[in-house]
C-alpha cells in the first residue's frame, strides 16, 4: 500500500550530508576569535596570514510545492466525489527562515581558492479544519482517505461532523563548495570589479513533515491517523559563475558616504540529483475496523 503524499514530493531519513557544510562553518567560527582582535576589517571578514575568513547570516526564503493532505470534503454518496482537498502546507514560499554562511579563501597564483558553506532552516506549522456543519449541499461529509491503493478504506464522518489536521513542515537547505575565482577589470560606469569562478559542490534540501488528524466524533485525546515523511535530495556537481560589484548610478554619492557595497552573482551548473523518500502512517485510534498502518521508501536519481 502507498501512503498518500509519497509521490507528491520525494523525501528521506538520511542526515549525514549536512556534515560537510556544518564542518566548513564550524571551522570558520573556531578560526574567527584567533584574529578578530588583530585584524578587524569592518566588513564581516578577517585575515589570518594569507587566508581571508568571512562569516555572515541573514534570512532565508525557499519556494517549495504545497503538500496536499489526505483530508477532503465531498459527497457521502457513491462514488464519493471530492469537493475540496485540504493542504498539509500552503504558501510555504512565503515563510521566512534563517541562514548562516561562511568562506575561507587563500590566494593561488593569479586565482583565489575558497571553501564555502551555508546552512538555512525554514519551518512552518499549518492547521486545517473540515467543517461539514457549514457545507452545502446536504449530505456533504468530511473524509480521510489515507490509503491510495484502497479507496474504500477511508474514514468518513457523519454529515455535520468536523475533522482537523495539524502539520509541521521544516526544511534544512545546505551546501559546501570548493571554488577557484579569477578577478577581472571593471567596466567604467557599471562595475567597479568583476570575477569569474569555477567550482564543485554538494548541496542538499532535507524536508520533514509530521501530521496528525482528529475529528469531533472521537475523543480529543485520540487521533484518526498520524503521518510522517522525510524527503531528502542531494545534489553533486560543478558550476560556473560570474559576478561583480556595482554602485547604483542614482545613489553613487550616497553609497560611498555610507560605505555600502552592492554586488551580484550569476551561478549555473549541472548536478547529479539523488532523492530519497521515507513515509510512515499509523492508525492510532480504535473505533475503525481496517488496518491502515503502512510504511514506504522510494528513491530516484536524475539530472538537475
Q: What is the pTM of this model?
A: 0.74
pLDDT of 138 reads 63
pLDDT at 177: 96
Query: Judging by beta carbons within 10 Å of its beta carbon (0-12, 13-18, 19+), is residue 228 exposed, middle or buried?
Result: buried
Assess whether pLDDT exceeds 90 at residue 240: yes
Average pLDDT value over all residues in the chain: 77
Instruction: State the Cα–Cα distance between residues 18 and 172, nearest whole angstrom.
Output: 9
pLDDT band (50, 70, 90) for residue 78: low
pLDDT at 80: 65
Whether the pLDDT of residue 224 is over 90: the answer is no
At 180-206, the pLDDT tens digits run 999 887 676 667 788 999 999 999 999
Q: Residue range 265-293: average pLDDT?
A: 80
**Are the C-beta atoms of 203 and 233 separated by less than 8 Å?**
no
Give the β-pairing of 111-131 and 45-48: unpaired
* 85 vs 157: which has the higher pLDDT: 85
Q: Check whether 12 has a pLDDT greater than 60.
A: no
Query: Distance between CA 54 and CA 3 in Å, rounded?
Result: 44
Q: What percent of the chain has pLDDT over 90?
A: 33
List, in sequence order, every beta strand (DSSP E) within 93-190: 97-108, 111-131, 140-144, 155-156, 162-184
Residues 106-131, mean pLDDT to the nearest whole number:
92
pLDDT digits (tens, 9 = 90+) for 27-45: 444 443 333 333 333 457 8
Q: How far apart are the first and last CA of the chain?
A: 30
Closest CA to 223 of 169, 134, 292, 126: 292
The count of other CB atoms within 10 Å of the CB of residue 77 is: 9
**DSSP-assigned letter for residue 187:** B
And the C-alpha cell for 275? 532523492
Query: Which has more pLDDT, 64 or 90?
Result: 64
Binning pLDDT at 50, 70 and 90, where does residue 14 land? Answer: very low
- Percent of residues, the chain, with pLDDT higher than 70: 71
From residue 148, give the alpha-carbon distance in Å to each of 144, 219, 272.
11, 26, 30
Is there a contact between 197 and 180 (Cβ–Cβ < 8 Å)? yes
As a whole number, mean pLDDT of residues 41-51 equals 74
Amino acid at each position: 500500500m502507498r501512503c498518500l503524499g509519497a509521490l507528491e514530493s520525494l523525501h528521506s531519513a538520511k542526515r549525514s550530508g549536512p556534515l560537510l557544510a556544518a564542518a566548513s562553518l564550524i571551522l570558520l567560527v573556531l578560526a574567527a576569535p584567533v584574529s578578530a582582535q588583530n585584524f578587524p576589517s569592518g566588513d564581516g571578514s578577517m585575515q589570518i596570514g594569507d587566508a581571508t575568513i568571512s562569516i555572515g547570516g541573514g534570512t532565508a526564503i525557499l519556494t517549495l510545492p504545497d503538500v496536499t493532505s489526505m483530508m477532503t470534503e465531498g459527497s457521502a454518496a457513491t462514488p464519493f466525489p471530492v469537493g475540496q482537498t485540504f493542504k498539509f502546507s500552503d504558501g510555504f514560499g512565503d515563510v521566512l527562515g534563517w541562514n548562516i554562511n561562511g568562506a575561507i579563501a587563500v590566494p593561488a597564483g593569479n586565482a583565489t581558492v575558497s571553501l564555502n558553506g551555508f546552512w538555512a532552516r525554514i519551518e512552518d506549522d499549518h492547521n486545517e479544519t473540515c467543517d461539514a456543519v457549514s457545507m452545502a449541499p446536504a449530505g456533504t461529509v468530511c473524509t480521510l482517505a489515507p490509503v491510495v491503493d484502497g479507496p474504500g478504506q477511508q474514514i468518513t464522518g457523519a454529515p455535520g461532523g468536523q475533522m482537523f489536521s495539524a502539520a509541521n513542515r521544516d526544511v534544512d537547505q545546505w551546501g559546501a563548495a570548493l571554488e577557484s575565482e579569477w578577478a577581472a577589470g571593471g567596466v567604467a560606469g557599471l562595475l567597479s570589479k568583476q570575477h569569474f569562478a569555477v567550482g564543485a559542490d554538494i548541496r542538499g534540501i532535507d524536508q520533514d513533515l509530521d501530521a496528525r488528524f482528529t475529528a469531533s466524533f472521537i475523543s480529543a485525546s485520540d487521533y484518526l491517523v498520524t503521518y510522517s515523511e522525510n524527503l531528502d535530495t542531494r545534489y553533486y556537481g560543478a558550476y560556473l559563475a560570474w559576478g561583480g560589484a556595482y554602485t547604483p548610478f542614482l545613489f553613487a554619492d550616497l553609497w560611498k558616504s555610507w560605505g555600502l557595497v552592492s554586488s551580484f552573482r550569476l551561478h549555473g551548473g549541472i548536478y547529479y540529483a539523488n532523492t530519497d523518500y521515507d513515509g510512515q502512517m499509523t492508525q492510532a485510534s480504535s473505533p475503525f475496523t481496517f488496518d491502515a498502518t503502512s510504511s514506504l521508501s522510494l528513491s530516484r536519481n536524475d539530472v538537475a
